[in-house]
Amino acid sequence: MDKRMLGNSGLAVSPLGLGGWAIGGPFTLDGHQDGWGQVDDAESIRAIRRAVELGVTLFDTADAYGTGHSEEVLGKALKDMRRDVVIATKGGFTYDREKRALTGQDWSPTYIRRALEASLSRLGTDYVDLYQLHTGFIPDEAVEPVFFEMERMKQEGMLLAYGWSTYTREKVDLFAAKTRGAVIQTKANLFSYDTEAIAACEAHGFACLNNSPLAMGFLSGKFSRETRFGQDDVRASAFDWTEYFEDGKPKPEFLARMARVRDVLTSGGRTAAQGALAWLWAKSAANIPIPGFKSLAQAEENARAMAFGPLSVEQLRQIDEALGA
């Protein structure tokens, strides 16, 4: 597949990136687990380096993921190939590293500058290619000041481009009106797809980084009614954005949806996960999915999706028909 542009940044990246949430290890939000269980840092590093070998050039993380641990692991993995990759990170959450807990949000310009400085230290680099505000729903009047500060940091060479992790067309339009940013990051997958928000990205020339492109693993096709997640896994936490699960179990309605689309997703030799990523590429040229991973095998499977390319128009139609869209 051809590379895709990060909006107006001039940065060309692989059509798929890897997301660093899961490799951050355990951490909490509002007293509930927000991580994906224990991690093996050596395995994470092997997975990242293998992904580069397979053509992945974009890696997305955040200071919130493991309260900085994900950034540290990514920095170690990429230390001898910094100029060959595009590193994206995010800030806006406050945290207690000792307790591995998120403690609040702060989108003030002073805090965002301090957060980026700390991220650069953990990543072992003097700049990031893309810096994003992680807090998606801030007051409208706060948008211009925080992104003006990012523009200043860009001029100082601390970042090459900036963006916002947010979730509605209104916020995308506001970002376009108030900033010279390049990227919107938003949840997008076969089960949760905001057509209006992504159309707004297209209209404004933004790249759209798709987080949760596999619906928190659901679209791997590996879950069943017997699947259970422990209390060390975010999928057992009752956040409103873990909507595919209840009490640590996959919801039956999503298992049923997965069953209806499995044959189309796995056609042509793809795995279900590769088909789900291909669906996103077919939906919009702005889409750049950033699936997470905890193992070498997962990173390889995700990266190899690029060899198949997007689904066809006919396959999109078949999926719409199967889901009653």
Interval 243-289: pLDDT, tens: 999 999 999 999 999 999 999 999 999 999 999 999 999 999 999 99
When pLDDT is averaged across residues 181-201 and rounded to a whole number, the result is 98
When pLDDT is averaged across residues 194-212 and rounded to a whole number, the result is 98
Residue 34 has which token pair? 């927000």
Tell me the C-alpha distance between 240 and 256, whole Å: 21
Mean residue pLDDT of the chain comes to 98
- 48 three-state secondary structure: helix
Residues 6+ apart with CB under 8 A from 263: none
Sign of CA dihedral 171, 176, 178, 182: positive
What residue segments make up the domains of the chain, in order of their start? 4-323
156 alpha-carbon distance from chain centroid: 26
Task: Pick the closest to residue 288 from 64, 21, 3, 78 (CA basis).
Answer: 3
CATH 2.60.40.1180 applies to domain 4-323: no
- 208 three-state secondary structure: strand
| DSSP H/E element including 57 | none
Residue 5 has which token pair? 């542009």
Summarised one tens digit per residue, pLDDT across range 79-114 is 999 999 999 999 999 999 999 999 999 999 999 999
Parallel, antiparallel, or unpaired: how do β-strands 249-250 and 245-246 relate? antiparallel
Helices (H), 67-213: 69-78, 109-123, 140-155, 169-178, 195-204
- Residue 208 sits at the vertex; the CA angle it makes with 3 and 170, to the nearest 5 degrees, is 160
When pLDDT is averaged across residues 177-203 and rounded to a whole number, the result is 98
Tell me the C-alpha distance between 200 and 170, whole Å: 9
Q: What is the pLDDT of residue 167?
A: 94
Assess contact for 181 and 162: CB atoms under 8 A.
yes
Q: What is the pLDDT of residue 205?
A: 98
Sign of CA dihedral 82, 111, 25, 36: negative
Tell me the C-alpha distance between 81 and 222, whole Å: 33
Residue 120 has which token pair? 């650069």
When pLDDT is averaged across residues 38-62 and rounded to a whole number, the result is 98
- Give the percent of the chain with pLDDT over 90: 99
Parallel, antiparallel, or unpaired: how do β-strands 159-165 and 183-187 relate? parallel
Tell me the C-alpha distance between 128 and 106, whole Å: 20
Q: What is the pLDDT of residue 242?
A: 96
What secondary structure letter does DSSP report for 311?
Answer: P
Residue 274 has which token pair? 């590769």
Assess contact for 201 and 168: CB atoms under 8 A.
no
> Residue 77 pLDDT more than 80?
yes
Summarised one tens digit per residue, pLDDT across range 112-137 is 999 999 999 999 999 999 999 999 99
Q: What is the pLDDT of residue 168?
A: 96
Summarised one tens digit per residue, pLDDT across range 221-232 is 999 999 999 999
Going from the C-alpha of 61 to that of each of 120, 271, 293, the distances in angstroms are 12, 25, 12
Q: What is the pLDDT of residue 325?
A: 73
